[in-house]
Amino acid sequence: MPGPEFSKPLAARSTPIPGVLLLNLPVHGDNRGWFKENWQREKMLAAGLPDFGPVQNNISFNGSVGTTRGIHAEPWDKFISVAAGSVFGAWVDLREGPSFGTTFTAVLDPTTAIFIPRGVGNAFQTLEHNTAYTYLVNDHWSADAQGQYTFLNLSDPSAAIKWPIPLSKAELSEKDRVHPFLADVAPMQPRRTLILGGDGQVGLALRRMYSDNDHVDFVTRSKLDLSSPDPFSNLDFSTYDKIVNAAAYTSVDAAETATGRVSAWAVNAAAVSSLATHCTRRGITLVHISSDYVFDGQLKEHHENEPFSPLGVYGASKAAGDAAAATVPAHYILRTSWVIGDGNNFVSTMASLAGRGVRPSVVNDQFGRLTFTEDIAAAIKHLLDVSAPFGTYNVSCSGQVQSWSDIAEDVYEILGHRRESVTGVSTAEYFAGKVSAARPAHSTLALTKLQSTGFDAPAARDRLRKYLLEVRN
């Protein structure tokens, strides 16, 4: 066969199978032979190839024309090219979903490559002697991984692949001859989403959000101790493509004690650093919940790019966790404030006091907006669903900025009690004689960046009324 066509420009084009990209590779040659950049990350990302993070390079040498291999769908992504010779390639979508069974074929030579996502069946037939078929993969091969393969028979009638050399005359393995037909193939399931902190306030809201999704797993504190030295040693990260870290040490005042300080840093910083390393290695999208306590509260409104300035141990440990989470190429950090959800919280406490006729003193010199966990859960799902640009996003309710005392008065009023039952006091007065951590005076979060993605948080007072009515009923 003739040699490769020289100097074609690098380009990627889509195929009938979602996510499968066919690439032209520039090959440069002269009387000595030819040279090409078989894999060049920066240029190929610019051409549209996903940043799939290859970790292993494999080569299949085939001595005879008509050598046929496949159809195998593997649990990793592949970048396939030909180093010498040429092949007829065939690909069948074996993933669960509407494109299941879609087929695509093409001839690959040294000037052509193809990107194959996880779950797409791959096969080839050599068109020349001494063909070297190469592929980069983004996970290490293991014997255990073979149990996750999905196979399709090379002669499946629904795929109707027109092999250049009839399979009856081709050279192939006995295993490839007896793989199942499409009607009997169990589609490869998508990678799953893992939510850490499944029994916390945000975790419970996410359980409700994803109650009808069979591809979401929840892990609770009793099953995964984030304060342990190596909390993820028994977790199979290959199962997941998204991890939501809704777990945290949140005892702000206890974090100032000797034991609390150790726990806060273990859970909020060390565990997040370890998680970030695993997510980066596996190409997993990490969603991490942050806090207004990473700031000192001197600014009246906090934007996502404000430098950290924590006042206490809890805030410092959360800031360290944010810094670690931000090292993951695919990350969302959701910064929240004044979180209200299931269980004991400020609003439920005020409601209980109102019901018992108590006239509380409440801090009136700390300002912000409430954030209800159902809105945090909705924001997480929204950012993932719309594939928003990675980065940090402020998430809170919208509306008027209030003090804790203002919110307590709202609780009393909504429940039919007098606003005057609440007395406002300064932070210094409230915590006089108590062991406590310093709090930011201003916790209001700017919401413009989140709104630019198409997410509009409801007004805090509307959410408060709804929350109280649901609790009361």
Residues designated as active site: 72, 135
Residue 443, token pair as written in the block: 């916790």
CA distance linking residue 120 with residue 267, whole number of Å: 38
Residue 218, token pair as written in the block: 């929840």
CA distance linking residue 372 with residue 384, whole number of Å: 19
**Closest of 279, 280, 264, 371 to residue 320, by C-alpha:** 264
Phi and psi at residue 281, to the nearest 5°: -65, -35
What one-letter code names the amino acid at 295? F
CA distance linking residue 297 with residue 403, whole number of Å: 13
Distance of CA 338 to the CA centre of its chain: 24
Residue 465's SS3 state is helix
Residue 405 near residue 361 (C-beta atoms within 8 A): no
Which H or E element spans position 385?
helix 373-385
Which H or E element spans position 409?
helix 404-414
Phi and psi at residue 121, to the nearest 5°: -70, 135
Which of left, alpha, beta for 298 (phi over 0: left; psi -120 to 50: alpha)? alpha
CB atoms within 10 A of CB 386: 11
Residue 11's SS3 state is strand
Please name the residue that has the structure tokens 């979060």. 445
Residue 242 near residue 194 (C-beta atoms within 8 A): yes
Q: Report cis status (omega within 30 of 0) of the bond before 80.
A: no
**Closest of 368, 401, 381 to residue 454, by C-alpha:** 381
* Own/partner pairs, 174-181, CB within 8 angstroms, 24+ separation: 176/68, 176/69, 176/70, 176/71, 177/153, 178/153, 179/71, 179/151, 179/152, 179/153, 179/154, 180/151, 180/152, 180/153, 181/152, 181/153, 181/156, 181/157
